[in-house]
Homo-oligomer: A and B are copies of this chain.
């Protein structure tokens, strides 16, 4: 595709320059192709700034009204797809200013008084990110509700719990699902703390030293919905911590998603057979007619790398930059936008997809009965008969070896056989190695006993409700 050549436009900063910028340099430095995403924030920010300029007398009432009206119209024009942004004007800020001059004439040239793109862009970006974080948190909550519903519906489903991917101890499937609820709860905390650190208004810092007009920054913050103002103008324009904060939170969130995805993929295998993903959320193969693949989980797992990459990109970009603003920082936006889009799209599709999953309770249950998952319970039986745990562990270890050699599951072993290993075993030994008993005895906060898990689900719902209200 050929790019059409726009007519040369005078640079708004061109006074001291004798030669025009080379078109290749324009292409290389231009950001409007991606920062146009900030048009709304840019215009709202400019409107509030115009009011501030009016208050300090830089703009007359008439001028201010003209600016506000012009900006509103430009907003509408953009929304209606009437505007074609120009690369030669570099970025969304200069494009909007240029549109404004075209619309309302010379008064538009007053808008940028006492402001720099340095404080403008980070104000826009903070406004944008605040909205996105709020939305991200909402999407996480929705996803959590889906998980709670699954946990509720399958409260009686028993499955083998794993460590090292080896069957370890029986757990409730709902208990396993609630582990993800907890992770997501921490994710929201992180996003929410990032929100707070983003919620500081940098506008008024101008290029780096603060503006020369005594704008009331706190009033401006209120107008733009910011909770605080930044306290040092140099830091304000140099800082992108809030972007990295978001990327850090997003990376951990995606790591959680990758763990869930891995499990969904494994559980969907022929060998595990724990779940089946609905046709609507699976894909087939172009060559193998029998295939049904858990692509969404795989793709989400892959996107983890994408988000980690974006984090390392920003950390690298900011490393060793002298204060205050440097153009390197322009690279922040694409990486941030890409991450925001990834996180939201994953949340959106996962909430739908997990609801569609068919749980094969019988297969899970069978799994919990094979593989000596209650061996620890048998050891505890001995402990309760005053055998030191380490010895009990040793004894049961030998029993397991015996069972393996005899190709026998633990619940088929007879009491006389058990007594060959320790005379502490008595007729009640068989009770303790039942899967149900094993689960029931984990009866403390955080344990997998049915009552505890039900309580955890209930408390989970309460928390979400409280958050949604608060």
| Contact assessment for B163 and A389 in the assembled complex, using a CB-CB cutoff below 8 Å | no
A156-211 with Cβ < 8 A to chain B: 160-171, 175-176, 178-183, 186, 189-190, 193, 197, 204-211
| Distance in angstroms between the alpha carbons of A316 and B249 in the assembled complex | 15
A353-374 with Cβ < 8 A to chain B: 353, 367, 370-373
Q: Which residues of B contact A1 (CB under 8 A)?
A: 81
**A154 contacts partner chain B, Cβ-Cβ < 8 Å:** no
**A280 contacts partner chain B, Cβ-Cβ < 8 Å:** yes
- Tell which of A397, A438, A448 has the most Cβ of chain B within 10 Å: A397
| Contact assessment for B442 and A397 in the assembled complex, using a CB-CB cutoff below 8 Å | no
| Distance in angstroms between the alpha carbons of A287 and B251 in the assembled complex | 33
Known contacts A12-B286, A161-B209, A212-B441; decide if A261 and B298 are in contact (CB<8 Å).
no
| Contact assessment for A390 and B12 in the assembled complex, using a CB-CB cutoff below 8 Å | yes
| Contact assessment for A445 and B367 in the assembled complex, using a CB-CB cutoff below 8 Å | no
| Distance in angstroms between the alpha carbons of A210 and B380 in the assembled complex | 13
Known contacts A117-B287, A269-B166; decide if A109 and B211 are in contact (CB<8 Å).
no
**A272 contacts partner chain B, Cβ-Cβ < 8 Å:** yes
| Contact assessment for A210 and B372 in the assembled complex, using a CB-CB cutoff below 8 Å | no
Known contacts A16-B397, A163-B118, A298-B164; decide if A322 and B233 are in contact (CB<8 Å).
no
**A470 contacts partner chain B, Cβ-Cβ < 8 Å:** no
Q: Which residues of B contact A468 (CB under 8 A)?
A: none
| Distance in angstroms between the alpha carbons of A298 and B29 in the assembled complex | 10
| Contact assessment for B16 and A292 in the assembled complex, using a CB-CB cutoff below 8 Å | yes
| Contact assessment for A236 and B446 in the assembled complex, using a CB-CB cutoff below 8 Å | yes
| Contact assessment for B197 and A189 in the assembled complex, using a CB-CB cutoff below 8 Å | yes
Known contacts A186-B241, A255-B315, A270-B370; decide if A302 and B330 are in contact (CB<8 Å).
yes
Known contacts A279-B18, A328-B302; decide if A312 and B320 are in contact (CB<8 Å).
no
**A383 contacts partner chain B, Cβ-Cβ < 8 Å:** yes
**A319 contacts partner chain B, Cβ-Cβ < 8 Å:** yes
| Contact assessment for B270 and A371 in the assembled complex, using a CB-CB cutoff below 8 Å | yes
| Contact assessment for A18 and B390 in the assembled complex, using a CB-CB cutoff below 8 Å | no
**A408 contacts partner chain B, Cβ-Cβ < 8 Å:** no
Q: Which of B214, B234, B315, B410 contacts A179 (CB 8 A)?
A: B234
A207-254 with Cβ < 8 A to chain B: 207-215, 217-218, 229-239, 241, 244-245, 248, 251-252
**A467 contacts partner chain B, Cβ-Cβ < 8 Å:** no
| Distance in angstroms between the alpha carbons of A204 and B287 in the assembled complex | 13
Q: Which of B278, B308, B371, B446 contacts A316 (CB 8 A)?
A: B308
Q: Which residues of B contact A9 (CB under 8 A)?
A: none
Of the candidate stretches A20-28, A40-48, A130-138, the one touching chain B is A20-28
Q: Which residues of B contact A115 (CB under 8 A)?
A: 287
A415-449 with Cβ < 8 A to chain B: 438-439, 441-449
> Closest CB of chain B to A411's CB: distance in Å?
13
| Contact assessment for B110 and A389 in the assembled complex, using a CB-CB cutoff below 8 Å | yes
Chain B's closest residue to A13 (CB) is B284
